[in-house]
Every structure is written in C-alpha cells, then in structure tokens.
C-alpha cells in the first residue's frame, strides 16, 4: 500500500476512535447522574452500555495499532511502539497537523473519561461507606442492651428466726 492509503486508513480509524470515546464520555457522565439519583435499574443498563463501548474501543484500538505500525514502517518511524506524534514527525507536512490534532483530541477525551470515572468511583465509595455505617447501626440496634441484661442473682438470706426489733407493743 502507498503512504496516502495508509494515512487515510489510520485517519479514518482515529476518527472512529474519537466518536467511540465521545460516546464513552457521555456514558460515564450519565453514570454519574444515575449514581447521584440512586437509580439502580438504570445503572445496570448503563454499565452494560459502558462494557459494550469498551469492547468496541479495544477492537478499534487493535486496528489502530496495525494501521499505525504500517504507516510508521512506511515513513521510517518506530514500528515497535508507534505513537502518533512520532509518526507525525516523519510524515509529510500536510499530514503532520492532522495527526497531532487527533492525538490531542484523543488525549483530552481519555483524560476527561478518566476524571469523570474517578468521580464516579468516589461516589460509589461514599455510598458504600454510608451503607456500611447504616448496616453497622442496624446490627448494633438489634443486639440486646447490656443495661438490661441479666447479670446478678437475687440474694436469699436464710434466717432461722425473726429478729426482734422492740419488745413493746
């Protein structure tokens, strides 16, 4: 294949990857809204969507890696770890800006997805801490109180006769 075809193939792949990452960003933002609203049914559906998007990203990423290796080999860049910025340095000038731009867009999208996902994790951890605390309180409430526990015995005194307090009546 010629360089033009390899570049077009890589560019199409990168554009597809950007679309899917934008979809993932929308999904994790939606997940945050669902977590705040505590809608567990919607959370399950959202997680299924997120899993499907992640599978799609892996597939596109594998294709991107192949395209990047092919173009890197064609222009003389590193084929072991083909990076867009390295390929851009070796590419013809009209491709350089586009490759650098795609790199920046993807980097920004990945960073945003990561930030929102971290916020979601913090929300989940806070919810788990609250639930754990509530469960501990319920468990403590069900335990018998030590104040009313049977601890002692009634003392029984054995007396052989009554004691006389006064003789006068």
- If pLDDT is split at 50, 70 and 90, which confidence band does 127 have? confident
Q: How many residues does the chain have?
A: 169
**Among 44, 45, 32, 41, residue whose Cα is nearest residue 121:** 32
Please identify which residue in the block is written with the tokens 């939606």. 30
Interhelix angle for 93-142 vs 3-37, to 10°? 20
Give per-residue pLDDT as tens, 44-74: 999 999 999 999 999 999 999 999 999 999 8
CATH architecture of the region 3-142: Up-down Bundle (1.20)
Give per-residue pLDDT as tens, 1-39: 788 899 999 999 999 999 999 999 999 999 999 988 888
- If pLDDT is split at 50, 70 and 90, which confidence band does 77 have? confident
- How far, in Å, CA of 37 to CA of 43, rounded? 10
Instruction: Put residue 76 in one of left, alpha, beta given phi > 0 → left and psi -120 to 50 → alpha.
Output: left
Contact 116, 28 (CB under 8 A): yes
């Amino acid at each position: 294949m010629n360089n033009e075809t390899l570049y077009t193939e890589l560019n199409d792949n990168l554009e597809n990857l950007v679309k899917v990452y934008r979809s993932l960003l929308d999904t994790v933002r939606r997940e945050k809204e669902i977590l705040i609203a505590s809608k567990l049914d919607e959370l399950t559906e959202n997680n299924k969507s997120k899993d499907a998007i992640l599978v799609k990203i892996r597939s596109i990423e594998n294709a991107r890696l192949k395209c990047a290796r092919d173009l890197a080999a064609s222009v003389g860049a590193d084929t072991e770890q083909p990076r867009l910025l390295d390929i851009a340095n070796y590419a013809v000038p009209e491709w350089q800006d586009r490759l650098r731009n795609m790199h920046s867009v993807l980097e920004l999208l990945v960073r945003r997805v990561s930030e929102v996902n971290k916020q979601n994790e913090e929300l989940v951890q806070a919810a788990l801490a609250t639930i754990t605390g509530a469960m501990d309180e319920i468990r403590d409430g069900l335990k018998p109180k030590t104040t009313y526990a049977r601890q002692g015995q009634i003392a029984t005194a054995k007396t052989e006769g009554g004691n006389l307090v006064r003789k006068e009546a």
